[in-house]
Structure 1
Amino acid sequence: MTSRVLLFGSSGFIGAHVRAALERDPAVSELISPGRDRYDLVEGDRDSLIALLREIAPDAVICCIGRLGGTNEELIRANTLVAAKLLDAVEAAAPDARLVRLGSAGEYGVVPHGHAVTETGPTAPISAYGISHLAGTSLYALAAAGGRVDAVSVRVFNPIGPGQSAENVLGRAQLRLREAVQLRLSEIVLGPLGAYRDFVDVRDLAALLRSVVLAPSLPSPVYNAGSGNAVTVRAAVKLLAEQAGFDGEVREHGTGPQRSAAVDWIQADIGRAEAELGWVPAVDLATSIKDIWAAGAPG
């Protein structure tokens, strides 16, 4: 069976890798990736989106658009209202299409140290970012349970890999390290690095999203996308510094991002994706770090 897939956000860090994974799959007969000049998913109106869906008649719609930071209003618009708009439009214009969105580990909030969170675990986000994603995931789960739309959310933990965004801690660390190597500096300064994070390679994430898009049926409305392992951010930055050949001091100062500053531990239980979709991560942390550095400075 071949599929026509409509992908929003193909120019972003995650979206570009998702596009590459779908383009390689013979089960995808056509991949349509409209830019903002054709339709702006954040600013565009629902009627125009309905018209676009009727024109394309996709078998699947995947959204890789969202915000990591900004005001409460900006986060709600990009992460919640976009989800709601897509849900309404797909139900009206392409009710048989599978609708896939990216959620976030931030939906879980504070997790007991050493505990791997499952998709059925408690969700108590502690930031507007996490709330904005949990609202979108909840809307999709309700729609799926009611048989309105074949909707699914993939909760993304900490995506890393080639093309790493400077919005993420390893992207920022890479920029500081490149500057330090170029200028022969003896130290770089980053925020606190003691928190434990579950880093998942963006190519593994793209492989999971491809499986979610193309699976004949989905038993569950939510899947975790992580590596299944938690390491300190400090350990990941150390690996990156080694790749850079930087032997100076990495000084920690200030505060971390508001969306995750109070969460000192997060690790995904990825058993559901393995059991239901046959997906397991294939790229280890050391390879991800090596490829981040080899890919060059983030844009």
Structure 2
Amino acid sequence: MSTVVLFGATGFLGRQVRLLLSEDPRADRLVCPGRAELDLLAATPADVAGLLRFTRPSVVVNCVGRMSGGHDELLRGNAGVTALLLDAIAAVAPGARYVRLGSAAEYGPGEPGRSQHEDDPARPTSPYGISHLAGTLMVEQAGAVDGVSLRLFNLVGPGVSTENVLGRARELLRTASGHLDLGPLGAMRDFVDVRDVADAVVRAAFARELPARVINVGSGRAVPVREAVTLLTAVAGFTGEVRESAPEHSRSRAVSWSQADIGRAWRVLGWRAGTPLADSVKAMV
């Protein structure tokens, strides 16, 4: 019997992962602890070990994390949670597969025209990227746990967070009249649909072997943010002016180019993104 424990099942990506797992015959039993049952951001090692001892999972998927906050909040949310789960799995569920969600921010600035490969040096330029890199390094060095860290690029699609530039634009469009004030939109980003990413997560959960502990998950194509915003405004029927006058987000300012090398995802997981950006944008409105 295959038991999957999924943390963060109500979040942007977690909802999509839960939907796929609930329909997957390989997941005989799906356990989705809510915050009331176990809040990973406040849990102790004993709390996590107790839950895993009770559920006896063959797979643990973590969709819990922090996208904003101070250094301490980011480290606790992205690296601390990883440490808790790795220790608990090693202690009470040593045969379980662990899937964590990392970020393209771990790489830092990309070289224009070049895809970022998993073996490239990681040089994060933000506390967010540093916190995710710390979690990924833990997975890489956790020899006692069969773990993988998926480096996710820019997720879009239904339910997108306002932490994402397209999510912020969508929220502003709901009350915009003659103009829309955004930050500079000249950066190049690798946008990938959240539903495609959920498919990659499930593939990683059930892959027979994982010869690599870090796998990029992106579309493999960098697109100007301005182009993505233009798609969004067209779908929303907005005919006003888009102004690039608001302060630029610190993460965008530090990284002007981001594009995933997705060869490893195909070789290891048999996965490629299949949803066009236009369809992802339509699903947001």
Q: Same fold (TM over 0.5)?
A: yes
One of 150, 157, 163 as aligned partner of 1:161:
157
Superposed, 1:181-192 pairs within 5 Å as: 185-192=177-184
The answer to whether the 8 A contact 2:181-2:246 is kept is no
The secondary structure found in structure 2 opposite 1:261 is helix
Structure 1: tracts of 5 or more residues without a match: 294-299
Question: Which AA in structure 2 matches 1:57?
Answer: R
- In 1, the alpha carbon distance for the partners of 2:47 and 2:23 equals 30
| Cross-structure match for 1:195 | 187
One of 173, 178, 182 as aligned partner of 1:177:
173
| Cross-structure match for 1:15 | 14
Report deviation, 1:166. Answer: 1.7
Report deviation, 1:257. Answer: 2.4
Deviation string 1:109-143 (CA, Å, 9 cap, x unpaired) is 01111110111111000011100000100010011
| Cross-structure match for 1:152 | 148
Structure 2: tracts of 5 or more residues without a match: none
Report deviation, 1:237. Answer: 0.5
Report deviation, 1:258. Answer: 2.1
- In 2, the alpha carbon distance for the partners of 1:44 and 1:259 equals 29
- In 2, the alpha carbon distance for the partners of 1:153 and 1:137 equals 6
One of 253, 259, 264 as aligned partner of 2:245:
253
- In 2, the alpha carbon distance for the partners of 1:11 and 1:259 equals 25
Report deviation, 1:255. Answer: 2.8
| Cross-structure match for 1:44 | 43
Q: CA RMSD in A?
A: 0.9
Superposed, 1:1-299 pairs within 5 Å as: 3-143=2-142, 146=143, 148-180=144-176, 185-293=177-285
- In 1, the alpha carbon distance for the partners of 2:135 and 2:237 equals 42
Question: Which AA in structure 2 matches 1:168?
Answer: N
- In 1, the alpha carbon distance for the partners of 2:35 and 2:25 equals 27
The secondary structure found in structure 2 opposite 1:52 is helix
The answer to whether the 8 A contact 1:240-1:290 is kept is yes
Report deviation, 1:259. Answer: 3.0
Report deviation, 1:262. Answer: 1.0
- In 1, the alpha carbon distance for the partners of 2:113 and 2:247 equals 23
- In 1, the alpha carbon distance for the partners of 2:248 and 2:17 equals 28
- In 2, the alpha carbon distance for the partners of 1:62 and 1:257 equals 30
- In 2, the alpha carbon distance for the partners of 1:255 and 1:142 equals 39
The secondary structure found in structure 1 opposite 2:125 is coil
- In 2, the alpha carbon distance for the partners of 1:91 and 1:247 equals 55
Question: Which AA in structure 2 matches 1:149?
Answer: V
Report deviation, 1:264. Answer: 0.3
Runs of 4 or more, structure 1, over 3 Å off, are none
The secondary structure found in structure 1 opposite 2:243 is strand
- In 2, the alpha carbon distance for the partners of 1:256 and 1:202 equals 24
The secondary structure found in structure 2 opposite 1:28 is coil
- In 2, the alpha carbon distance for the partners of 1:256 and 1:69 equals 15
Question: Which AA in structure 2 matches 1:26?
Answer: P
Question: Which AA in structure 1 matches 2:268?
Answer: E
Deviates more, 1:115-124 or 1:252-261: 252-261
Q: Between Structure 1 and Structure 2, how many residues are aligned? A: 285
Question: Which AA in structure 2 matches 1:152?
Answer: V
Percent sequence identity is: 52
The secondary structure found in structure 2 opposite 1:152 is strand
The secondary structure found in structure 1 opposite 2:203 is helix
* TM-score for both structures, normalised by structure 1: 0.94
